């Protein structure tokens, strides 16, 4: 569990809110209440924190260790959530950590790192005398069953066919609050593209060397999103009072296949990208169950995300990758 991945913020001007990557709370000052975030020092949390601060929010981290602009998980669990406008949870163990064997012990870590932090925050929100206006959780498109033909929007069924889909179902259930005093939003994220982390960090060296290419067959769909847009959707979910329910955190160019992604990434780097990574190698490194996340994919569309009025900075893959490698 990345326990430092929690942020809180507050704003001095409209939308007058404070956000955290795990929980949100307002700070006692002349400014309006702020937000807390769980997962605030990780790849996504850092981008979200920077964006919130740029918009005038004051950010607070939820962390294992105390410090300036931080609250510890123990304090949150025992003393409750201070007054705040919004809460965002980004915490969770990296599922595709190649140095960890996919065994029962690691599966429990993956599950608990998501459920425990979410339950702590949901419990704190539910008990708060003045609960936050918004509670935002980031999960994943693994909720939807891999398919070469199906197209999934936010109302599509899923969440019941393998370990990862069931994980998303349990994760989202753990975040659910009774009543309607707090607006609840779930963002199901695709593969996040950015300079500072995520999938690009692991792929950059082989692609720069001209050794990159599609993973496995390459015809599987590759739902992706630029880090700037994922942070933007989260900020939009926090600030826009009409946003509620599930949003797909993917780019509108949802028909991208893994082979098309590899070709575009190679083009952005000015390198060939035709050497495939065999399925057997992926399965040997990650285990058969976990390898499904790389060897199979889903065509996911952000229908409701677009309907809420969010405007993408990087709707097309080519421009997104050029920014990432610039």
Q: What is the DSSP string of 169-191?
A: HHHHHHH--SSSSSEEEEEEE-E
* pLDDT for the residue 30: 23
* pLDDT for the residue 21: 44
* pLDDT for the residue 252: 96
Residue 258 CB coordination number (10 Å): 24
* pLDDT for the residue 39: 57
The pTM is what? 0.90
* pLDDT for the residue 85: 87
- The bridge status of strand 9-10 relative to strand 34-38 is antiparallel
Which is nearest to 292 in space by CA: 138, 139, 96?
96
CB 150 within 8 A of CB 200: no
Backbone angles phi and psi of 87, in degrees to 5: -135, 140
Residues of the chain with pLDDT under 70: 1-41
* pLDDT for the residue 151: 97
* pLDDT for the residue 1: 36
**Burial annotation 283-311 (CB, 10 A radius, 16+ → b, else e):** beebeeebbbbbbbbbbbbbbbbeebebe
Written as six digits, the tokens of 275 are 């050497």
* pLDDT for the residue 38: 59
Q: Which residues contact 67 (CB under 8 A, 6 or more apart)?
A: 61
CB 131 within 8 A of CB 182: yes
């Amino acid at each position: 569990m990345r326990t430092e991945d929690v942020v809180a913020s507050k704003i001095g001007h409209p939308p007058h809110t404070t956000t955290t990557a795990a929980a949100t709370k307002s700070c006692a000052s002349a400014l309006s209440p702020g937000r807390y975030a769980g997962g605030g020092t990780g790849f996504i949390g850092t981008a979200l924190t920077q964006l919130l601060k740029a918009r005038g929010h004051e950010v607070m981290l939820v962390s294992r260790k105390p410090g300036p602009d931080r609250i510890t998980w123990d304090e949150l669990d025992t003393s409750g959530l201070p007054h705040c406008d919004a809460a965002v949870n980004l915490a969770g163990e990296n599922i595709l950590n190649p140095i960890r064997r996919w065994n029962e012990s690691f599966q429990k870590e993956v599950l608990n790192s998501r459920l425990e932090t979410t339950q702590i925050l949901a419990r704190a929100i539910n008990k708060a005398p003045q609960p936050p206006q918004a509670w935002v959780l980031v999960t994943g498109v693994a909720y939807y069953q891999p398919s070469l033909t199906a197209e999934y929007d936010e109302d599509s069924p899923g969440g019941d066919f393998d370990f990862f889909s069931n994980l998303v179902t349990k994760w989202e259930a753990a975040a659910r609050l009774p009543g309607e005093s707090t607006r609840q939003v779930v963002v199901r994220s695709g593969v996040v593209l950015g300079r500072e982390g995520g999938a690009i960090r692991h792929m950059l060296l082989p692609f720069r060397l001209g050794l990159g290419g599609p993973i496995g067959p390459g015809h599987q769909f590759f739902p992706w999103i630029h880090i700037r847009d994922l942070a933007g959707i989260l900020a939009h979910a926090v600030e826009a009072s009409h946003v509620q329910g599930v949003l797909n955190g993917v780019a509108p160019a949802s028909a991208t296949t893994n082979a098309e992604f590899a070709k575009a990434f190679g083009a952005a780097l000015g390198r060939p990208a035709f050497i495939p990574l065999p399925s057997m190698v992926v399965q040997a490194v990650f285990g058969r169950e976990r390898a499904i996340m790389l060897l199979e994919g889903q065509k996911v569309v952000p229908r409701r995300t677009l309907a809420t009025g969010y405007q993408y900075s990087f709707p097309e893959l080519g421009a997104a990758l050029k920014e990432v490698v610039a």
